[in-house]
Chain A
Amino acid sequence: MLLKKEVDSSVRPEGKRVRVPRGLWVKCEFCGEIIYKKEIEKNLDVCPKCNYHFKINAQRRLSLIFDEGSFIEFDERLESVDVLDFKDMKKYKDRLKSSQKTLLRKDALLCGEGQVNGQKTMAAAFEFEFMGGSMGSVVGEKISRLIERAIDKNCSVIIFSSSGGARMQEGIFSLMQMAKTCAALGKFRKAGLPYISVLLDPTMGGVTASFAMLGDIIIAEPKALIGFAGPRVIEQTIRQKLPEGFQRAEYLLEHGVIDMIVEREDMKDTLGKLLKMLAPY
């Protein structure tokens, strides 16, 4: 019955090697369970065994939130420029090109406006597969424009973050996107409008340390890894073992860093209710 011949060998937590036919089955990166792909898709890409919320692309993310046919995309033509002529083991230009080709998207953010259970809102979602959802000039510009549009139209904002942080290949410009987006949010706050930040697995570095942590309400998906420094960097710096569940959504809720954890299937309704209660602005 296998449609594809490709086979990929994986290791189960118990150490037993199993051969997993690629395409039909997927492995949960959290608990290692092998799951029939159709089953997990029906389950909104949530592991039926451990409730880990798999990464989904930006398009799917927003389609799960917005009322059908209500979404209009903004600024889809913004494209990154290799301003530093950056080359590590690969040229930045080539990294961009290959991501653009496979993901059919100019950069790592999808944004626009639409309605959530009848409530009008502007929203952005990261495309994690696009260079780790890293924030360079395009992401910073799109978020700033979205926030400014929302100010003009007296509208709320929701940002779904999933990012490794600032895009190193744009050097200091990527760092300055933190200042740019936070300044826009400062204006937005003064205008008395509500911003809901939704943190997905993973949200790290310069994205966490800017707009992602500035939500009036901060929501996370279960088990999402959220932090400023990555766990490996922390471990290497302090030379200690990290506590169980460190930097996971549940841990952050306990430490008062986020407001709540919301399951994928409840996200739309929760956002709709919040937007309704926060209106009128």
Chain B
Amino acid sequence: MALQQFLEFEKPVVELEKKIEELKQTALGEKADSAGHISCLSEIERLSAEAKKLQEDIFSNLTPWQIMQLARHPLRPYTLDYTQRVFTDFIELHGDRNFRDDPAIVGGLAMLENEPVMVIGHQKGRTAKEKVFRNFGMPNPEGYRKAIRLMSMAERLKKPIITFIDTPGAFPGIGAEERGQAEAIAKNIMVMSRLKVPIIVAVIGEGGSGGALAIGVGDRVLMLEYSTYSVISPEGCAAILWKDGSKADVAARALKMTAKDLYRLEISDEIIKEPLGGAHQDIETMAKTLKEALVRLLQDLRKFSQDELLDMRYKKYREMGKFYEAVI
């Protein structure tokens, strides 16, 4: 586990690892094969096993709020980390052709194994400067308009679409409202529901409300194990319903926003397993697992004709929702 950035609940593991590191230093000082050296080595082995067990325990009992923190982890892989690893020859395309290029959404053509696809995703920044440049992954209307431009192009040229969801939400700003943030989101949702090519949606981090759904309507919706998807952020929900933003952990639980919850509620179709400790602990393995799922699902979707695909997609969303209808 990386020592620099860890979450509060990972502390016991980090402390054990510190101890192991110290022992390793001690072992280096001892003469090889001396009694001290051997006891150090066996102690290191014992502690390493203990650390792994502890980490497994912690990660098999995460609260929704802890999962939310993992989904927002500063080291978590973002869309551009996956475009480099899941695909080859990613060529980024820019701009909505109307106003500007929105760096909070990236998109372009790429090869998934031997098949050309259109890839679109939210993009957060890693450094302070990049965070501002990417607007913390919160798109403006032009970001959504770029996305739908690329998706419509993909439809016309018969390329499947793969989207990556990772946003706190659509940007709440003056310009965003003036340029029709709501219209941009609504239009994308409607157009995506009728695009004549297969669409696979993968929630890789934070699925923040309408800002996520605006590139999130598809034939298959996957969620990484420690990703979340919700109608409102737990902080926002707590502030409105509990009148106390600090009740976010309670709200996170009430909203049922983890990958497991959404799979159980039949909103997502599949959970993609993450490496122990989360996607950021082993990006290569994470990308490999994700790639396998995308290749498999795309092959599966190939079986359907355009009409079947559209009917299935319509039905998928048409059936979402629970209500009661009294007969007389």
The interface stretch among A30-38, A45-53, A240-248 is: A240-248
Which residue in chain B gives the minimum CB-CB distance to A226?
B182
Interfacial chain A residues near B187, Cβ < 8 Å: 213-214
Instruction: Indicate if B222 sits at the interface (CB-CB under 8 A).
Output: no
Interfacial chain B residues near A187, Cβ < 8 Å: 194, 314
The verdict on A227 contacting B322 (CB below 8 Å), with A89-B242, A176-B267, A182-B190 known, is no
Contact of A174 among B193, B231, B257 (CB under 8 A): B231
Instruction: Indicate if B209 sits at the interface (CB-CB under 8 A).
Output: yes
Report the bound CA distance from A178 to B321 in whole Å: 11
B284-328 with Cβ < 8 A to chain A: 313-314, 317-318, 320-327
CB of B231 to closest CB in A, whole Å: 4
The interface stretch among A62-70, A115-123, A202-210, A259-267 is: A202-210
Interfacial chain A residues near B172, Cβ < 8 Å: 228-230, 233-234, 237-238
CB of B239 to closest CB in A, whole Å: 9
B210 touches A206 (CB 8 A): yes
Interfacial chain A residues near B318, Cβ < 8 Å: 144, 180, 183-184
Instruction: Indicate if A108 sits at the interface (CB-CB under 8 A).
Output: no
The verdict on A210 contacting B323 (CB below 8 Å), with A186-B194, A229-B181 known, is no
Which residue in chain B gives the minimum CB-CB distance to A251?
B178
Interfacial chain B residues near A26, Cβ < 8 Å: none
Which residue in chain A gives the minimum CB-CB distance to B179?
A255
Instruction: Indicate if A175 sits at the interface (CB-CB under 8 A).
Output: yes
Interfacial chain B residues near A176, Cβ < 8 Å: 213, 267, 317, 320-321
Instruction: Indicate if A42 sits at the interface (CB-CB under 8 A).
Output: no
A138 touches B323 (CB 8 A): yes
Which residue in chain B gives the minimum CB-CB distance to A235?
B172
Interfacial chain B residues near A79, Cβ < 8 Å: 323-326
Report the bound CA distance from A80 to B325 in whole Å: 9
A168 touches B210 (CB 8 A): no
Instruction: Indicate if B80 sits at the interface (CB-CB under 8 A).
Output: no
The digit string for B231-263, where 1 denotes a CB below 8 A from any CB of A, is 110001100111100000001001111000110
Report the bound CA distance from A187 to B173 in whole Å: 32
Report the bound CA distance from A227 to B255 in whole Å: 24
Q: What is the total of A-B residue contacts with beta carbons within 8 Å?
A: 197
Report the bound CA distance from A190 to B241 in whole Å: 39
Instruction: Indicate if B189 sits at the interface (CB-CB under 8 A).
Output: yes
Report the bound CA distance from A255 to B175 in whole Å: 10
B186 touches A240 (CB 8 A): no
Report the bound CA distance from A189 to B172 in whole Å: 29
Which residue in chain A gives the minimum CB-CB distance to B327?
A77
Instruction: Indicate if B191 sits at the interface (CB-CB under 8 A).
Output: yes
Instruction: Indicate if A103 sits at the interface (CB-CB under 8 A).
Output: no
Instruction: Indicate if B217 sits at the interface (CB-CB under 8 A).
Output: yes
Interfacial chain A residues near B217, Cβ < 8 Å: 179, 183
A175 touches B182 (CB 8 A): no
Which residue in chain B gives the minimum CB-CB distance to A148?
B318
B191 touches A186 (CB 8 A): yes
Contact of B174 among A170, A185, A234 (CB under 8 A): A234
Interfacial chain A residues near B40, Cβ < 8 Å: none
The verdict on A257 contacting B189 (CB below 8 Å), with A237-B173, A247-B177 known, is no
A77 touches B241 (CB 8 A): no
Contact of A140 among B176, B230, B314, B321 (CB under 8 A): B321
B320 touches A246 (CB 8 A): no
Contact of A183 among B179, B193, B256, B322 (CB under 8 A): B193
A77-131 with Cβ < 8 A to chain B: 77-81, 83-84, 86-89
Instruction: Indicate if A137 sits at the interface (CB-CB under 8 A).
Output: yes
CB of A50 to closest CB in B, whole Å: 23
Instruction: Indicate if B36 sits at the interface (CB-CB under 8 A).
Output: no
Which residue in chain B gives the minimum CB-CB distance to A83?
B322
Interfacial chain B residues near A174, Cβ < 8 Å: 231
Interface residue count on the B side (C-beta < 8 Å): 57
The verdict on A228 contacting B176 (CB below 8 Å), with A180-B320, A209-B186 known, is yes
A209 touches B262 (CB 8 A): no
A179 touches B320 (CB 8 A): yes
The verdict on A228 contacting B241 (CB below 8 Å), with A86-B254, A211-B186 known, is no
CB of B21 to closest CB in A, whole Å: 41
A213 touches B324 (CB 8 A): no
B174 touches A206 (CB 8 A): no
Instruction: Indicate if A274 sits at the interface (CB-CB under 8 A).
Output: no
Contact of A234 among B177, B231, B257, B327 (CB under 8 A): B177
Interfacial chain B residues near A213, Cβ < 8 Å: 180, 182-183, 186-187
CB of B168 to closest CB in A, whole Å: 10
Which residue in chain B gives the minimum CB-CB distance to A180?
B317
The verdict on A209 contacting B185 (CB below 8 Å), with A77-B325, A166-B231, A172-B229 known, is yes
Instruction: Indicate if B38 sits at the interface (CB-CB under 8 A).
Output: no
CB of A82 to closest CB in B, whole Å: 9
CB of B181 to closest CB in A, whole Å: 4
Complex A-B: 15 CB contacts under 8 Å:
A86-B254, A171-B231, A171-B256, A176-B267, A176-B321, A177-B321, A180-B320, A183-B313, A183-B317, A209-B170, A209-B181, A209-B182, A213-B182, A229-B177, A240-B174
Q: Which residues of B contact A (CB under 8 A)?
A: 170-174, 176-183, 185-187, 189-191, 193-194, 209-210, 213-214, 217, 229-232, 236-237, 240-243, 251, 254-257, 261-262, 265, 267, 313-314, 317-318, 320-327
Q: Which 9 A-B pairs have the closest CB atoms?
A: A229-B172, A137-B321, A88-B241, A183-B193, A208-B182, A176-B320, A228-B182, A175-B231, A182-B190
Known pairs A173-B267, A209-B185 / 5 extra A-B pairs, C-beta < 8 Å:
A79-B326, A177-B320, A179-B213, A182-B193, A234-B177
